[in-house]
Structure 1
Amino acid sequence: MTKGEETKQFIIERSAPIFNTKGIAATAMSDITEATQLSKGSLYVHFENKEVLAASAVDYNMQLLSNKVMAAVNKQKTAKDKLFAFVDTLKDPLSPPVTGGCPMMNFGTEADDTNQLVKTKVNQAFDNAELTIAGIIQQGIKEGSMNPDWNYKEFATMIFAMIEGGIVMSRVAGNISKMNIIVKNIKKMITEQLI
């Protein structure tokens, strides 16, 4: 990496948790200058404006979340254990794997009516998460450990919607009691499909 690329990456890494915690609209460039100890002029050398920096922070946060989920999933051998690991990584929204909470939830909620670029990025992340879940189930079906008649595409959509719903419910309530119910029932549904 060149010095300029290192500085750009440093800015993204320092600003990502701020954008994910405060939101794009509420994050000021002064928040970024404070976190990076760089002048506004230095920031604008690397990013044309706040929206360009925010889009990079969105990408960074979502990649960080994906990396943490996939690290947990890839430690497992069986499809069941991989699905459980996926769920377990996201089961405590009050201690999320990414500072500020689920970036898909945070940025998706903020951008759905205001920022088409971020909305598109979040939608792609949703699709990727569902494909990951569906792929794990397909692996289980191929291995003969899961019901071959399981509609894994529908289940992938449902499980992900339940997790995201549990995240917002938990963060608003300030406790994870409802997420515990969701996780318990997701695991029960997975177990019911085992052969």
Structure 2
Amino acid sequence: MRKGQVTKEQIIRQSAGLFNTKGYAGTSLSEIIERTNVRKGGIYNHFESKEEIALSAFDYMFAKLKSILAEALSELSEPAEKILAIGDVYIQLVEDNIWEGGCPILNTAVENDDGHPLLKQRAQNAMNELMMSLGEIIKDGIKRKQFREDIEVEAACSVIIALIEGGVMLSKLHDDHKYIRYCTNQVKSYIQRDMAV
């Protein structure tokens, strides 16, 4: 890998935690310079603007999340197990503090719902991708006759994602891991009560 590419990736990696913790508006270029140990000219050698760094940082964090989820699901075949494994990934995200600031989709969505339109779009696209993947798991469960065939897939995805992301938000807000566990336990109850045949 060329030195320039290494520097660019370092800037993305190092600034990702800043943006995920402080948000786009709260992160200054001077903080990026301090965190990355790359001078202003070096940063602008790789990026045209703070916005471009923020978008790249979001993409980096979402790619990392997808990779962690893919690894967690790779050995599983049962749809219910896969859904519970997604919850376990988010428990790990909170309890092991995998990323500075928590879930990048949640943070970006909350900060930019009325703010930065390109970051809002990135968060929407990321959430749509997660919902689509979860929907495929649910459809597989219906096809295998493990889940009820009358399930409204989009509604089920919304409930599961809302419970998990809500658990992340409450845990971060109160600095207490119990909330993500409460909410992932509710996902298990929802599967058993409203989805299972």
Aligned equivalents of 1:34, 1:191: Cα separation in 2? 50
CA offset at residue 103 of structure 1? 0.5
Aligned equivalents of 1:187, 1:119: Cα separation in 2? 30
Alignment check: 8 A CA contact 1:65 1:98 kept: no
1:82-103: CA deviations, max 9, x gaps?
Answer: 1110111112534344332000
User: Structure 1 residues 149, 96: closer, same or farther in 2, change over 3 A?
Assistant: farther
Q: Which residue of 2 aligns with 1:81?
A: 81
CA offset at residue 168 of structure 1? 1.2
Q: Which residue of 2 aligns with 1:132?
A: 133
**Equivalent residues, number:** 195
Q: Which residue of 1 aligns with 2:105?
A: 104
Structure 1 runs of 4+ aligned residues shifted over 4 Å read: none
Alignment check: 8 A CA contact 2:163 2:186 kept: no
Paired residue secondary structure (1:128): helix
Aligned equivalents of 2:98, 2:126: Cα separation in 1? 16
User: Structure 1 residues 97, 134: closer, same or farther in 2, change over 3 A?
Assistant: farther
Aligned equivalents of 2:179, 2:27: Cα separation in 1? 30
Question: Which structure 2 segments of 5+ residues have no match?
Answer: none
CA offset at residue 185 of structure 1? 1.5
Paired residue secondary structure (2:38): coil
Q: Which residue of 1 aligns with 2:182?
A: 181
For the pair 1:23 / 2:19, whether they are aligned, the reply is: no
Q: Partner letter of residue 30 of structure 2?
A: S
Alignment check: 8 A CA contact 1:74 1:82 kept: no
User: Structure 1 residues 151, 97: closer, same or farther in 2, change over 3 A?
Assistant: farther
Question: Which structure 1 segments of 5+ residues have no match?
Answer: none
1:125-178: CA deviations, max 9, x gaps?
Answer: 111111111110111122232222222221001111121122111111111333
For the pair 1:144 / 2:137, whether they are aligned, the reply is: no
Tell me whether 89-98 or 30-39 shows the greater mean CA deviation: 89-98
CA offset at residue 35 of structure 1? 2.3
Aligned equivalents of 2:73, 2:8: Cα separation in 1? 30
1:8-38: CA deviations, max 9, x gaps?
Answer: 1121111111211222222122222222221
TM-score by length of 1: 0.92
Tell me whether 70-79 or 122-131 shows the greater mean CA deviation: 70-79
Alignment check: 8 A CA contact 1:68 1:97 kept: no
Paired residue secondary structure (1:91): helix
Aligned runs of 1:34-113 on 2, under 5 Å? Answer: 34-91=34-91, 93-113=94-114
Alignment check: 8 A CA contact 2:21 2:100 kept: yes
User: Structure 1 residues 178, 38: closer, same or farther in 2, change over 3 A?
Assistant: closer
Q: Which residue of 2 aligns with 1:171?
A: 172
**Superposition RMSD in Å:** 1.7
Q: Which residue of 1 aligns with 2:118?
A: 117
